Amino acid sequence: MVEPLHIVVVGGSIGGLTAACLLRDSGHDVLIYERSAVELQQRGAGIGFLPATYRYLKDRAGLDLASVCVQTDFIRYLNGQGDVTYELSHSYLFSSWNTVYSNMLHQFEPEKYVLGHELVDFKNTNTGAQARFANGSIVDADLLIGADGIGSVMRTQLQPSATGQYAGYVAWRGMAPESVMPSEFVERLGDSITYFVYRDSHILVYPIPSSDGDVSAGNRMINFVWYRNYAEGDELNDVLTDRSGNRRDISVPPGHVAVKHVEELRSTAQRVLPEILSSVIQHTPEPFIQVIYDIEVEKMVFGRICLLGDAAFAVRPHAAAGTAKASDDGWALDTAIRENKNLDDALRSWETQQLTVGSRLLARTRRIGSRSQFENNWDPTDPELIFGLHKPGD
């Protein structure tokens, strides 16, 4: 095993937290620097709760998973009238970003999770790496980990050619409280992930914990993800221009989507979706937008600096594995450092493995997205559509 290291993680989201907790458990001195001045929030957006994501909470923290997620037992497809056209008995776990983040944050020392530090520069040094922040502070490390997300400052500097490639569509997202929806709809949607696929689009809905983490039926939320095509240029620019007239790049958060686009979303839902799914849209207070980008890197290690999670590969959500991939990067990094006596050897081994994981997942999610959004050959019976990180169902 590599001798104990001083490690700095830039970015305190779920991927950065997972890596930090694991490396700390292995005896390293770890600090997280997060640019936000307050603890992170993403308004409870739903996530597929795959094994790589919940592994730390289950195996290391001893958390009862039933307290932080909702289990569904079926995959269902509906037609335009709301009738079930295909059903598969298959269990998934779903949680919310906020629920997972807050529980992971609880596992890390508060004094070592440093808020209000925006990275402005970094470099390798003779003894490791160094990071400089906007407030003027400079920190040295044996290893500098870039976990600063899809808009990564570190990736931009280290690999400027690895820019986001617009996939041709966005994900409209949001959550409707079960308590305000018709009870018969809540009952039908409460035990499954439910799909509706139509020409050049598809929507999926599933139950998740409430904003305060309640997982009891009737108090949860129904999360939707609706993929819709927008042509690059004026059409995309228009939908990404928020209520204040600012053009957003990666997402338009809840409460900021232009009113005309929210109204168009609700109107289109009434016109094209089954009533039960349209109801989710109508009862969602503030829908928001996530732009679908592909980002692929050729390298993840640069001397004593490395990239993980969305700072390396940004993949489409169709495998529900983005958060799992970030967490898996952390698990694999900790394993490589424990199994090698030399840090450089550990980083080389880790990079080779995780480049393969990222590129394969990206290719798979590209194929899935193309089937519904452009090729119109989505097949509910295709096992490749099952969520999973390394492969469907994993």
Walking along the chain (394 residues) 10 residues at a time, the average pLDDT comes out as 94 97 98 91 85 98 97 98 98 96 97 97 97 97 97 96 95 97 97 98 97 93 98 98 97 97 98 98 97 97 98 97 97 98 97 98 98 97 97 93
Question: What pLDDT shows up at residue 218?
Answer: 93
Residue 225 and residue 144 share a domain: no
Question: What pLDDT shows up at residue 156?
Answer: 96
Domain boundary among 292, 315, 348: 292
The dihedral sign for the CA sequence 282, 284, 287, 292: negative
Q: Which of 42, 44, 393 is nearest to 222 (CA)?
A: 44
Number of Cβ within a 10 Å radius of residue 214: 14
Locate 293 and state its tokens: 């980008």
The verdict on residue 54 lying in a domain is no
Q: Summarize pLDDT for 273-287 with one digit per residue, the tens.
A: 999 999 999 999 999
The verdict on residue 41 lying in a domain is no
Single-letter code of the amino acid located at 168 = G
Q: Which of 139, 143, 67, 147 is nearest to 106 (CA)?
A: 67
Residue 122 and residue 217 share a domain: no
pTM for the model? 0.96
Q: Which of 258, 265, 218 is nearest to 240 (CA)?
A: 258
Residue 259 and residue 353 share a domain: no
Number of Cβ within a 10 Å radius of residue 68: 21
What phi, psi does 198 have (nearest 5°)?
Answer: -140, 180
Contact 269, 282 (CB under 8 A): yes
Q: What is the CATH number of the domain that holds 309?
A: 3.50.50.60
Residue 281 and residue 153 share a domain: no
Residue 252 and residue 182 share a domain: yes
Question: What pLDDT shows up at residue 234?
Answer: 98
How many Å separate Cα 51 from the centre of its chain?
14
Q: Is 111 helix (H, G, I), strand (E, B) or coil?
A: helix
How many Å separate Cα 135 from the centre of its chain?
29
Residue 279 and residue 151 share a domain: no
Q: Is 277 helix (H, G, I), strand (E, B) or coil?
A: helix
The verdict on residue 52 lying in a domain is no
The verdict on residue 66 lying in a domain is no
How far apart are alpha carbons 152 and 167 in whole angstroms? Answer: 19
Locate 363 and state its tokens: 């290719």
How far apart are alpha carbons 8 and 113 in whole angstroms? Answer: 10
Residue 328 and residue 237 share a domain: no
Cβ neighbourhood burial of 204 (10 Å; 0-12, 13-18, 19+):
buried
The verdict on residue 203 lying in a domain is yes
Question: What pLDDT shows up at residue 307?
Answer: 98
- Helix, strand, coil percentages for the chain (3-state, nearest 5): 35, 30, 35
The dihedral sign for the CA sequence 33, 35, 36, 40: negative
Contact 155, 311 (CB under 8 A): yes
Domain boundary among 244, 264, 292: 292
How, if at all, do strands 113-114 and 288-294 pair? unpaired
| First and final C-alpha spacing in the chain | 28
Locate 233 and state its tokens: 């240029």
Q: Quick one: three-class SS letters along 289-328? A: EEEEEEECCCCCEECCEEECHHHCCECCHHHCCHHHHHHH
Residue 155 and residue 20 share a domain: yes
Bridge partners (DSSP) of residue 126 are: none
The verdict on residue 381 lying in a domain is no
Residue 338 and residue 208 share a domain: no
- Where in the sequence is the domain holding 274, given as residue range(s)? 73-92+166-292
The dihedral sign for the CA sequence 17, 19, 24, 30: negative
Question: What pLDDT shows up at residue 38?
Answer: 84
The verdict on residue 50 lying in a domain is no
Q: Which of 217, 222, 225, 208 is nearest to 68 (CA)?
A: 208
Q: Percentage of the chain with pLDDT > 70?
A: 99
Question: What pLDDT shows up at residue 181?
Answer: 97
Domain boundary among 268, 292, 316: 292
Residue 213 and residue 282 share a domain: yes
What phi, psi does 370 have (nearest 5°)?
Answer: -65, -35
| Total count of domains within the chain | 2
Q: What is the CATH number of the domain that holds 248?
A: 3.30.9.60
Residue 314 and residue 362 share a domain: yes
The verdict on residue 61 lying in a domain is no
Residue 30 and residue 177 share a domain: no
